[in-house]
Structure 1
Amino acid sequence: MLSRVADDLYWFGRYIQRAENTARAIVVHSNLVLDLPRNVAVGWSALVEIMGVDDLFRARYGTGYAEADVVRFLVLDADNPGSVASSLASAREILRTVRESMPHETWEHINNVHLILQEGGERLLTRSRRQDLLQHVLDAALMTYGILIASMSHDVGFQFMRLGTNLEQADMTTRIIDVRTSSLIKPRAADEALRPFQNIQWMSVLNSLTAYHMYRRHERARVRGTAVLRYLLQDREFPRSVMFCLNMIGATLPKLPPSRAAERALERTGAVVRDANIERLVESGLHDWLDEVQVGIGKLHEAIAASYFKA
């Protein structure tokens, strides 16, 4: 397989996963705002922080983080490379060049939601219509996964796409945990009004990763912070946990040409996650540890790119 095609398939997996996670984060945050009392202020800056595009947002919209600006920036802004529209446009462009490698239905679903975003524009971002728009994105992403898993040959191209999908999800899971739990683990004075609603906030963290029902089935107990963190970081069976994603990458690499650099990067990052004592990290500082995991994921991406995509 040409390195260019492998690179495209890898990034196709990442772009679809990114669009899905961004859309779900907005839906869950909107629901959180509705679940909390009106006198409890919940800002929208956390969504921008999760995506790691604070500087770009402030350059375009200032420091106000108004709801309408944040939603527009994360859904439609073409200048934001991580927006839903940008991610789907990039995935669609990749499909144009590798359509022979994927089932035809994949193009239909991605192109359809791309056109909805392009033609609907600002009028679909109002509170009354936003949920339907984002649900279209979620449905298209999940339908695409189903089609590819069920109908695409699980050859080397599929393996590169699976690498991208799992790496993107591991990265997004750490980002969501880092930003959404900081005020829950070490509340600041400004967060005091939210203290009585911590249970709702922990449920929101789970919902951001479609993990609430599986967490309750796994734990069979009320939502507890350390249990939530352990489940989302170290569970080996939940598809969006960091450990599951790293294990999937580990299962994929042997099906590709050998890359000792990628294997070493995966071993180091996997050991950091697997051996972590969550209770101790909550007490000593989860943020620094998550930074270490994110750096490890970044180095794993660099090793994969250097091994397979550099012509």
Structure 2
Amino acid sequence: MLSRVADNLYWFSRYVRRAENTARLVGVGSQLQLDLPRSVRFTWRPMIDTAGAGEVFAEHFPEAGDDVVDSEVVRFLLLDERNPSSLRTSVDSAREILRSIRDSLPQDVWEAVNDLHLYIGVQGERSLSRRYRVEFLNRIIDGCLKVSGLLSANVSRDIGYQFLRLGTALEQADMTTRIMDAGASGLVTPRNEEDREAFQNMQWMSVLRSLAAYQMFRRHVRQRVTAELALRFLLQNNEFPRSVQFCLARAQSVLPTMPFRPGVDRHLNRVIGLTRNADPAYLAARNPAAFMDEVQVHLSALHDAIADGYFHG
């Protein structure tokens, strides 16, 4: 397979999964806004940093500060074409890649991605209103899951499919840590210190729900949601498809089907060890966000090793 085609397949799957999880990330904030009492202060600004777009936001909105309204943050995360990780940019990037490799994937995939592109163009502005936001986000998530389902059901299990799987695994691992980062960030400021734990647990419940993990959490853990238990489940569970450990294990299972690249193996084993050896109780008691940032740095190094080993060699 040409390295250019492999690169495009890898990034196509990453962009589709990024679009889905950006919608889920915004869903964390939207769900919390619905659940929290009006007396509790909710801050949207940390979510931009969680998405890795803090510098871009500061460049284009230098006077915004920390006290930005939800519609500005939602517009930036979902619709702003100047944001390289926005929902619209991700879907448009996936569509442009697919345009150049349409012979490699079924026609149904093109139609599903194009449908998402058109839907965002027509209905995107409505998502800025709280009244229509959940409906919009759910429609985007469903559309991305449809694309993933078509890829899983209709694509031959050749080397190209393995690059699709590798891109999906890395992107989901990265976005799961970012959504957990949102749960650990200062989105909620309770008036009374004694209420902090209760609202923290509410944040983690929203994180689980945004990742469609709440029901599976209850099935596996059978305890009420706490920061420690949510972190343990989303970081280290070997059976839930969006847990970081599951995604890394999936990437590890893909590598034997590809040409051997020692740098890729080395970086993957490093991030697997970091995740497996993490202590959720320690993280919950201190600063989970710092650990998520560390995992993201290692995932970025793993991506660089993949690019150097397979696409730029």
TM-score between the two structures when normalised by the length of structure 2: 0.92
Give the superposition deviation at 1:281: 3.6
Summarize deviations over 1:164-198 as a string: whole Å, max 9, x none.
111011111122223322459xx988784654433
1:116-167 residue CA offsets vs partner (Å, 9 max, x unmatched): 2123342453222222222221111001111110111111111111111110
2:158 alignment partner AA: D
Match of 1:153 among 136, 156, 160: 156
Partner of 2:129: 126
Q: 1:75 aligns with which of 71, 75, 78?
A: 78
Q: Give yes or no for contact 1:78–1:86 (8 Å, CA) kept in 2.
A: yes
The residue identity in structure 2 corresponding to 1:119 is V
199-208 or 214-223, larger mean C-alpha shift: 199-208
Q: Secondary structure in 2 aligned to 1:210? A: coil
Counterpart of 1:115 (choices 109, 118, 140) is 118
Number of residue pairs matched by the alignment: 309
Cα 1:182/1:71, change in 2 over 3 Å: closer
- Which residue in 1 is equivalent to 2:273? 271
Contact residue 181 and residue 205 of structure 1 kept, 8 A: no
State the one-letter code of the partner of 1:94: I
Taking a change above 3 Å as real, the CA distance of residues 272 and 196 of structure 1, as seen in their structure-2 partners, is: closer
User: What TM-score, normalized to structure 1?
Assistant: 0.93
Between 194-203 and 94-103, the greater mean CA deviation after superposition: 194-203
Report the equivalent of 2:53: 53
Which of the residues 199, 202, 205 maps onto 1:197? 199
CA contact (8 A) 2:177 2:292 kept: yes
| C-alpha RMSD of matched pairs (Å) | 2.0
Q: Deviations over 1:192-213 (max 9, x none)?
A: 4654433321201212221111
Please, which runs of 5 or more residues in structure 1 have no aligned partner?
none
* Cα-to-partner distance string for 1:42-72 (whole Å, 9 max, x where unaligned): 1111321220111211232322321111111
Q: Is the 8 A contact 1:40 1:194 kept in 2?
A: no
Partner Cα distance (2:10, 2:80) in 1: 24
Please give the secondary structure, in 1, of the residue aligned with 2:42: coil
1:19-30 paired onto structure 2 within 5 Å: 19-30=19-30
C-alpha separation between the residues in 2 aligned to 1:198 and 1:290?
Answer: 17
List runs of 5+ in structure 2 lacking aligned partners: none
Of 231, 242, 252, the match for 1:250: 252
Aligned-pair CA distance for 1:80: 0.6
Cα 1:124/1:29, change in 2 over 3 Å:
closer
The sequence identity of aligned pairs, in percent, is 48
Which whole-Å CA distance do the structure 1 matches of 2:226 and 2:128 have between them?
34
d(CA) in 1 for partners of 2:192 and 2:55?
24
Does 1:106 pair with 2:114? Answer: no
| Aligned counterparts of 2:224 and 2:236: Cα–Cα separation in 1 | 19
Give the Cα separation in 2 of the matches to 1:246 and 1:109: 27
| Mapped pair 1:41 → 2:41 | yes
What does residue 225 of structure 2 align with? 223
Per the TM alignment, residue 94 of structure 1 is displaced from its structure 2 partner at its CA by 0.7
Separation of aligned partners in 2, 1:139 and 1:188: 32
